[in-house]
Structure formats: structure tokens, C-alpha cells
């Protein structure tokens, strides 16, 4: 395991990761991947933070103008040299390309630096995110912040987004049509940020990005590629799942170290 400074050790401690156990695993060269560990192949059934909530937390659909109707000339899959993260966010905030616009309170475009080397991508906003318009808030967000801090970065230095920008009702999984309508926004964000690595957080995000139904356990532990840019993609657990299954945190840390090795090799 690479040397860690005091602050990173503190963050790993806050993540609940046993440093000595990690070091012992490294020393013994006994670290395995999810495919060799039955515990890691347990499917995640709901990896977002908020439990299904009553639908009374939603306001009426926004009544803003509709610049992104299907077949509109400014369709969201048209990155160009004039594109900016702010422009993408503005279009997302006004988007009605799928049915989720009708039940959202706020769209959640994503946050972070256009110069980020790391892009973390979750599945979809939960209840807190829907209310605040920000990704990964609440306890899962705090754990993600601790994971990022353990890597020696802050939330402001990375880019955090979701595959789907509006909350599915009762936190259900997004359907393929919603993913297909929304993913071009992610493509534009990716084209602008040009990260050295994408970290997919959770089963649904991983499956949506890789267009697969393989289990998270089978997808972890290797470097995939995403999009026409072939951006390296590493899969790990969703922070909300880690809150429920803290024994998986060490594996998540191993995933982050794999992602860091990708960034380091590209530098």
C-alpha cells in the first residue's frame, strides 16, 4: 500500500477502514478481488442513501421553457468547442427529455472542477439530492467526501455526477429509456472535464455505464473503458451501500487505489 500521510490515515479511520488489516493484506499479497470473494458478489439491491420515501416531497414540475425536447436542434449529445459545464447544467435544469422531469424537485447536474482528474459517477439523485440540487449529500455524501479525502483530494478537486440527473420516484432503478435520454449530458460533462479516471459508484451506475447486467462483484477489480474517449473506468461500491455493509470498505479502498494507479500511470 502506498505511504499515507497523517490526514489520509485519519480519513481512512473515518471511513472505518482498518489500516493494519490493509497493510497485513498487502504484506501477505493475499488481497483478492471480488470474483474470488463470495461476500463481494452479493448483489446490491438498493445502493442509494435515501430509503424509498413518500411522494409528497415533490413539488410541481418546473414550468421553464423546453430547450431540449426530442429532435430539438440543441439536443444534449452535441458537445462542441463552445460547450461549458455551466451550459450543460443549465440545460439539465430545464430538461424535460424523460418522464422524470415531472416528479423531480430539482435536477442534479453535478458539481466539481472542469480540471478534475477524477470523475465519480453514481446512479441517480436520492431524496436529499433532489431537494438540494446537489449530488451525494447526507451521510453517503459525507462518506464519499471521506473517501476522496483519503485519496488526498477535496470534493472541489474532483467532479461528481450521476448517470441520471433527476430522481426516479421512490428511488426506483432508472429504466433504460431514461438512461438513454440522460446519458448524453454525461458524455458532454466527460468531454469537458476529460478525467483520467471514472469511478462508478454502485451496481446500477456500473451496469448503466458498461451496458451490462453483470454483477458488481464481477465488474470490480479491473479497469474498464467508457465512451468514445475510452476513459478508464473503475467500479466500486456505492457509499450508501458501504454505510450498510462497512465490512466492504476495505475492498472499496482497494478499488480506489486501483483507480489511483490509473491516474498515476497517466500522469
User: Rule CB under 6 A: which residues touch ligand SF4?
Assistant: 92, 95-98, 100-101, 107, 164-166, 178, 181-182
Q: Closest Cα partner for 107 from 64, 156, 148? A: 64
| Cβ nearer to ligand SF4, comparing 226 with 253 | 226
Q: How far is the CB of 81 from ligand SF4 (least distance, A)?
A: 23
Nearer to ligand SF4, 100 or 243 (CB): 100
Cα separation, 81 vs 58, whole angstroms: 36
- 64 three-class SS: coil
Q: In what order do the strands lie in the sheet with 223-226?
A: 111-112, 159-162, 118-122, 197-201, 231-236, 223-226
Nearer to ligand SF4, 100 or 193 (CB): 100
Name the minimum Å distance from CB 92 to ligand SF4: 5
Closest contact distance (angstroms) between CB of 32 and ligand SF4 is 37
Cβ–Cβ < 8 Å for 207, 213 = yes
Cβ atoms of 15 and 147 within 8 Å: the answer is yes
If the CB atoms of residues 95 and 143 are measured against ligand SF4, the closer one turns out to be 95
With respect to ligand SF4, which residue has the nearer C-beta, 44 or 178? 178
Give min distance, CB of 50 to ligand SF4, in A: 17
Backbone angles phi, psi at 62, to 5 degrees: -60, 150
Instruction: Say if CB 214 and CB 207 are below 8 A apart.
Output: yes
Given a contact cutoff of 8 angstroms between Cβ atoms, the answer to whether 85 and 195 are in contact is: no
- The set of cell numbers assigned to 45 is 439491491
In the complex, least distance from residue 182 CB atom to ligand SF4, rounded to whole angstroms: 3
Cβ nearer to ligand SF4, comparing 105 with 259: 105
73, burial (CB in 10 Å: exposed 0-12, middle 13-18, buried 19+): exposed
Query: Shortest gap between Cβ of 134 and ligand SF4 (angstroms)?
Result: 15
Amino acid at each position: 500500500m502506498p505511504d499515507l500521510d497523517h490526514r489520509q490515515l485519519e480519513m481512512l479511520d473515518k471511513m472505518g477502514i482498518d489500516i493494519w488489516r490493509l497493510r497485513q493484506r498487502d504484506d501477505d499479497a493475499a488481497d483478492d478481488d471480488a470474483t474470488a470473494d463470495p461476500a463481494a458478489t452479493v448483489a446490491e439491491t438498493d445502493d442509494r442513501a435515501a430509503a424509498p420515501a413518500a411522494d409528497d416531497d415533490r413539488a410541481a414540475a418546473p414550468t421553464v421553457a423546453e430547450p431540449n425536447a426530442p429532435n430539438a436542434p440543441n439536443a444534449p449529445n452535441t458537445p462542441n468547442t463552445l460547450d461549458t459545464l455551466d451550459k450543460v447544467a443549465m440545460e439539465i435544469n430545464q430538461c424535460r427529455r424523460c418522464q422524470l422531469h415531472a416528479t423531480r424537485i430539482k435536477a442534479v447536474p453535478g458539481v466539481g472542477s472542469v480540471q478534475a482528474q477524477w470523475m465519480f459517477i453514481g446512479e441517480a439523485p436520492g431524496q436529499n439530492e433532489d431537494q438540494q440540487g446537489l449530488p451525494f449529500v447526507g451521510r453517503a455524501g459525507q462518506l464519499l467526501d471521506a473517501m476522496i479525502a483519503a485519496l488526498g483530494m477535496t470534493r472541489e478537486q474532483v467532479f461528481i455526477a450521476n448517470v441520471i440527473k433527476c430522481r426516479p420516484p421512490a428511488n426506483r432503478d432508472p429504466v433504460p429509456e431514461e438512461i438513454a435520454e440522460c446519458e448524453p449530458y454525461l458524455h458532454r460533462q466527460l468531454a469537458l472535464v476529460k478525467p483520467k479516471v471514472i469511478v462508478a459508484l454502485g451496481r446500477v451506475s456500473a451496469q448503466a455505464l458498461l451496458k451490462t447486467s453483470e454483477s458488481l462483484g464481477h465488474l470490480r477489480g479491473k479497469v474498464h473503458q467508457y465512451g468514445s474517449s475510452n476513459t478508464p473506468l473503475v467500479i466500486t461500491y456505492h457509499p450508501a451501500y458501504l454505510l450498510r455493509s462497512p465490512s466492504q470498505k476495505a475492498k472499496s479502498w482497494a478499488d480506489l487505489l486501483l483507480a489511483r494507479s490509473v491516474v498515476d500511470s497517466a500522469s
